[in-house]
Amino acid sequence: MWKARLGMTNNDGLDRDFRAVTRTVRGEPVHWEQVEHRAQQQRPTSWRIFGVLAAILTIAIACTFIAVKLLVDPAYRAEFTSATTAISFGEGATELGHTELGDYMRATGVRPLPTDVIALREEGFVLRASLHLIGLRHRSLSCGWTLRSVSNQSVAATAYASPAILRPPSDDSTATVQAWMSYPQTTGSYRVDFTLRDAHGRVIDVSQSRLFTVVTPRISSPYRAPGYSALLPKGWKLTQRYEPASPGRFVTKLVGSEGLSVLIDTTRHVSGDPASSAITVEDLYHGLTSYRRIAFHRTDKAGRGRAFEWTFEFERLRRADIFFYRGGDGYAVLAVGPPRRYVEIVAVALKVARSILSRPARS
């Protein structure tokens, strides 16, 4: 019975095999379970041998392949080497948005500059990606940026990358890249995909930013009045076009969806302190039961000189009024809408105010 359990045959080596597997078994009588266990330990199984041989063969093939590729193409890097990226939202000294395309392109050296002055004044936001490039020495790498919605759908947006092409100087290097992106059509939460590709278009790495809020509408529609040029909310309806309100005073108004509107009030050939103008207008509201002041202070967010921001609630609507003087004229940009759109209301007023250039538009 014990012969069959050990897998042995009846031959002259039987005694030798028996002694070999029972040499370390102590005590009497001998238990055949112990004998079988010792035999299994001392006789390697075929699958273990096969596994070791397969691993050695695989490594040998891989090393040979890489060696041949390096002889043919010294710039070749094995596919298991890749880039590690970390993308983040940031705009240096600016806030969310409020980065004009022209300012970005001049600061980063992106070429060519658009010839349209209005296009250079379009505002967008800037993202940066920190890269750890591994095993990519001297390879030509292109940087791509894609704006995506919460549902991960691609959103139409113009991107200007800086730099657009990378060439790592070593197999272990770091780099920082950035891109200016135009605003999407609607307010909401978005993320950005950064894609690194090789010269053949193959994806080296993809990294995705965290969600961030973009307040729109997109301020990109050019508007020219006799006394100034500006960028206005895209898709809004122009209901008043530089209409006279009183001697020397003119009004332009646009209406958007869900009760949103913005008005540009221009008084020609005046100057002064924008805070005084805000105080004078607010005095008209004092004593009215539906009036509630929210903010009343100077601001540098309207660009190109001193400005004053007055935000308030009146007749169940939120309002943001930005007062400033520019080019020898006085301006007040008033945005109005429902309380739930308060952040967007303030953003619209500030963005339109920043875009205004007080000079006759060229035909």
**pLDDT digit string, tens, across residues 346-357:** 888 988 998 898
Are 83-214 and 219-355 equal in CATH topology? no
**pLDDT digit string, tens, across residues 79-113:** 333 456 555 544 333 334 567 788 888 888 776 66
Residue 244's DSSP bridge partners are 250
Please count the residues of the chain.
363
Q: Delimit the domains of the chain by residue range.
A: 2-42, 83-214, 219-355
**What is the CATH architecture assignment of 83-214?**
Sandwich (2.60)
Question: Is 323 a residue whose pLDDT tops 60?
Answer: yes
Burial of 60 (0-12, 13-18, 19+ CB in 10 A): exposed
Helix (H) or strand (E) holding 208: strand 203-208
d(CA 279, CA 141): 56
Instruction: Give the list of residues 6+ apart from residue 100 with CB closer than 8 angstroms, or none.
Output: 120, 121, 122, 123
Give mean pLDDT, residues 263-283: 94
Label residue 19 by pLDDT band (50, 70, 90): low
Pick the CATH number of 219-355 from 1.10.10.10, 3.40.50.300, 3.90.230.10, 3.40.1000.10: 3.40.1000.10
pTM: 0.51
